[in-house]
């Protein structure tokens, strides 16, 4: 069952009330009451959600939830949390899925960003993975970046695919929560195949791809390709940073190649 954290919901409501003017705060409280009383939670929630931007605005605020948030996104999270807490007619997981299917991309962004709050037990992995197949970079970023959910709940293959898609979309994968903890030899292999493919085509690899690669697992040919990148790529500073992050304080990475530039 989905169990949004009640304490965080209360903190979120208090934050919104402190940030909103009296008219917007009154509107939000009225919508929360309407959702609590509604027999069909999904209809009441989606109606309120459609009005949220016009009523509360898009100012950026600090939140009890990780990541960057607007008032609209946080208000929608609170509205959905209220629906899940007060729905006595169906399983909260079913309600979440129904609402998510009926929402637009803008609504999905906020609810995906808050997925760890809504689903601490990882019951909605399939929904998150499906949402991550979008070509909308903002929707994809909502699940992929600054979001603890994938690292906590995805199996290795799904997490690897998320990292690779982020690279193909030229996103900064350093913003993928838990990437260092989820790095493994398989992800390194997949990422390095992309490096080799791009170099063979005369193109630079994605800027931050070095952070998907465990350098200790590279073979001699791969070392030589990285040496090439460190001497010619516009993104060579990322490779240096990744090496330092993995503890290469000396030019150990280049022991199988000609003398390479210092990593220090």
What number is the average pLDDT over the span 221-227? 78
What number is the average pLDDT over the span 15-23? 95
pLDDT at 33 over 90: yes
Instruction: Check whether residue 7 and residue 112 sit in a common domain.
Output: yes
The answer as to whether 15 is a domain residue is yes
The answer as to whether 30 is a domain residue is yes
Distances (CA, A) of 46 to 88, 98, 127, 138, 240: 18, 10, 18, 21, 48
Q: Which domain holds residue 235?
A: 183-254
Q: What share of the chain is helix, strand, coil (3-state, %, to 5)?
A: 65, 0, 30
Instruction: Check whether residue 101 and residue 213 sit in a common domain.
Output: no
Instruction: Check whether residue 97 and residue 12 sit in a common domain.
Output: yes
pLDDT tens, residue by residue, 153-198: 999 999 999 999 999 999 999 999 999 999 999 999 999 999 889 8
Instruction: Check whether residue 3 and residue 102 sit in a common domain.
Output: yes
Instruction: Check whether residue 110 and residue 35 sit in a common domain.
Output: yes
Name which of 124, 71, 121, 64 is nearest 96 in CA terms: 124
Nearest-angstrom CA–CA distance, 178 and 44: 36
The answer as to whether 166 is a domain residue is no
The answer as to whether 146 is a domain residue is no
Instruction: Check whether residue 2 and residue 101 sit in a common domain.
Output: yes
Domain boundary among the residues 123, 146, 170 is at 123
The answer as to whether 38 is a domain residue is yes
The answer as to whether 263 is a domain residue is no
Domain boundary among the residues 107, 123, 139 is at 123
The answer as to whether 45 is a domain residue is yes
Instruction: Check whether residue 220 and residue 108 sit in a common domain.
Output: no
Confidence band for 263, pLDDT divided at 50, 70 and 90: very low
The answer as to whether 175 is a domain residue is no
């Amino acid at each position: 069952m989905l169990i949004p954290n009640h304490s965080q919901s209360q903190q979120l409501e208090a934050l919104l009330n402190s940030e909103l003017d009296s008219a917007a705060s009154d509107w939000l409280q009225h919508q929360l009451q309407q959702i609590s009383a509604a027999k069909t939670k999904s209809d009441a929630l989606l109606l309120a959600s459609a009005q949220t931007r016009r009523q509360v605005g898009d100012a950026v605020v600090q939140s009890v939830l990780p990541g960057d948030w607007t008032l609209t996104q946080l208000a929608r999270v609170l509205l959905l949390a209220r629906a899940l807490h007060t729905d006595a007619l169906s399983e909260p997981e079913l309600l979440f899925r129904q609402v998510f299917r009926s929402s637009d991309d803008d609504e999905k962004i906020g609810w995906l960003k808050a997925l760890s709050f809504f689903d601490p037990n990882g019951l909605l992995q399939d929904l998150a993975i499906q949402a991550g197949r979008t070509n909308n970079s903002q929707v994809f970023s909502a699940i992929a970046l600054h979001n603890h959910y994938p690292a906590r709940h995805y199996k290795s293959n799904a997490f690897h695919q998320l990292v690779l898609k982020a690279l193909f979309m030229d996103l900064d994968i350093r913003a993928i929560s838990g990437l260092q903890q989820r790095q493994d030899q398989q992800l390194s292999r997949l990422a390095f195949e992309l490096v080799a493919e791009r170099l063979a085509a005369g193109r630079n690899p994605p800027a931050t791809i070095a952070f998907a690669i465990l350098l200790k697992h590279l073979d001699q040919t791969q070392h030589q390709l990285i040496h090439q990148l460190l001497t010619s790529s516009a993104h060579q500073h990322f490779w240096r940073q990744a090496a330092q992050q993995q503890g290469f304080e000396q030019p150990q990475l280049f022991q199988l190649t000609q003398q390479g530039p210092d990593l220090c």
